Amino acid sequence: MTQLRRSERLKARIGRPIAPEAASMPVVTLDQLSLETPTHFETGCQPWATPFHSFIHQAALLRDPDAPQKPFHLYSRLPLEIQWMIVEACDATTLFNLMQVSSSIRIRAKPLFWSHSSVWYYADINDLPLHKRQGADKGFDYDFLRQVEQVELVLDDLECWYDYFLTPEMAQDSRNVVDTAEIFWRAFHFTFPCVQRIMFSSPWEALPSGDINFSTLLRVAPKHISITWCMDLQPRLSPAPRRLDRYEWRANVAWVLTDHCWNRHRVFAPKHKVRGPVGKFQRWDWLEKELKTSTTGLRYLRAEAYENYRFGGQRNLPFTCPSPNCQETFERAGEYGAHYHDQLANGKVHDEWWNVAYGEGQIKGLSPSGLLPEEVEKYLERLEQRHNEERNRLAELFAELTLDWGEKGSATRAAYEQEFCAQLKYDRIYRCGDDDPKELQQWRRLKHRMHLAIIERGE
């Protein structure tokens, strides 16, 4: 009876009968699905990474909030050696949470957290300041960055580091490549003084085996830093999850392949805390960017979950696309995700229930809820619920910003502009000094977004 009611509900949602096989589908746990798609993902060449707060809280979402919570007191009674073995086996999110438990556990968990091999903190060339008061645009917490041990530095091209740090005086000097490389590493050390491992990557470049300038950059690198390059094995616009080859730079001579079909967690460091009008605008701006990548990531994550459910492990359960207007069939792993990605890339509406719900401030993925085991479905729905709550918060923040901005020519507008620019000029995070605060990215971004809001309101 329960299965019948479930099928009737699902039939009502997607508009066609449910196959009889639904009643005999296997029971699969979330752990068995081995999901790899990040919750925040971009299908193009735009930089993407999972925000730190989302990465840390994913472990909490794995727990069923309706399940009774039982206190666990036995850990402290275990021999100290066994306690440390348990801590050393934990993943990064668990280690971070353990750091909040007690000072004794924190002492052991903290170095393991910062050196965890699967977590790489995203940075690009603009995160390396040319001077100490630069670098507030991304809003990263620099106290956090100073403890990071692993960084993935994403390059637009192999020359971007050179062009960024080259000065007019150095351009006249034949030694400018070496000098520029040394300036790069000083700026890198200023931002990431504890880094032990740096991994270069680029959405456009292959393995830089013959570039002389880049080889110079590697040769003058600090000796204690391990250098690798990761290269995507899939086309740039392929769906997640990604597969990478990782090469290590050895003996300042050559790249050596160390990992094939490798993957990692790419994470944005937490944002610094900014108050005042600039802080309110930046919190909205950052949240909007996060939700764009979350919108894509959660859709692909649900698609991967359904495909792994049908084809993971020893299962081989061909199926028809759950979209009401699509009769495409899939007989092996990878076909379903590629099919949806192709539809999305071509601008076709393929998940109608998602688009209708999204217009009401909600998000649903490629496969409608109800097609997956209960444990998996609850986890995805908790992620989607959190996304929807953040969308509502984004709308509330923007409504407040438009009120603060006021009408053109009003005293409210003039007072807001004066307060916003004063914070850019004197706040220790921005401190533009004698420069015009209206030339900073924060002000230009604010004016652009308020102008769009006026157009959307039809004023």
Distance CA 194, CA 200 (A): 17
Can you state the angle between helices 52-61 and 374-405, rounded to 10 degrees? 140
Helix, strand or coil, per DSSP, at residue 401: helix
pTM: 0.83
Distance CA 281, CA 420 (A): 10
Q: Is the peptide bond before 51 cis (omega within 30 degrees of 0)?
A: no
Residue 133 region by backbone torsions, left for phi larger than 0, else alpha for psi between -120 and 50, else beta = alpha
> Distance of CA 249 to CAs 49, 193, 195, 220, Å?
24, 21, 16, 12
pLDDT tens over the chain, length 459 residues:
444 444 444 444 444 444 445 446 777 888 888 888 888 887 665 668 899 999 988 766 655 555 555 666 677 788 888 888 988 888 898 899 889 888 888 898 999 999 999 999 999 888 887 644 444 455 788 889 999 999 999 988 888 887 777 665 555 565 688 888 898 999 899 889 999 999 999 877 788 887 888 999 999 999 999 999 998 877 655 666 678 899 999 988 889 999 998 888 999 999 888 889 999 999 999 999 899 888 888 888 888 888 889 998 888 989 888 777 778 899 988 888 888 777 776 666 555 544 434 444 455 444 555 678 888 888 888 888 889 899 999 999 999 999 999 888 899 999 999 999 999 888 877 777 777 888 888 888 898 888 877 666 655
| Tokens encoding 142 | 């620099």
| C-alpha of 333 from chain center | 25
By the 10 Å C-beta count (0-12 exposed, 13-18 middle, 19+ buried), 207 is classed as: middle
Helix, strand or coil, per DSSP, at residue 153: strand
DSSP assigned state of 149: -
Cβ–Cβ < 8 Å for 243, 233? yes
Give the chain's end-to-end CA distance (angstroms, integer): 56
Domain boundaries, the chain: 2-47+275-396, 119-273, 406-456
SS3 per residue for 236-281: CCCCCCCCEEEEEEECCCEEEEEEEEECCEEEECCECCCCHHHHHH
> Distance of CA 219 to CAs 26, 124, 187, 197, Å?
54, 20, 16, 15
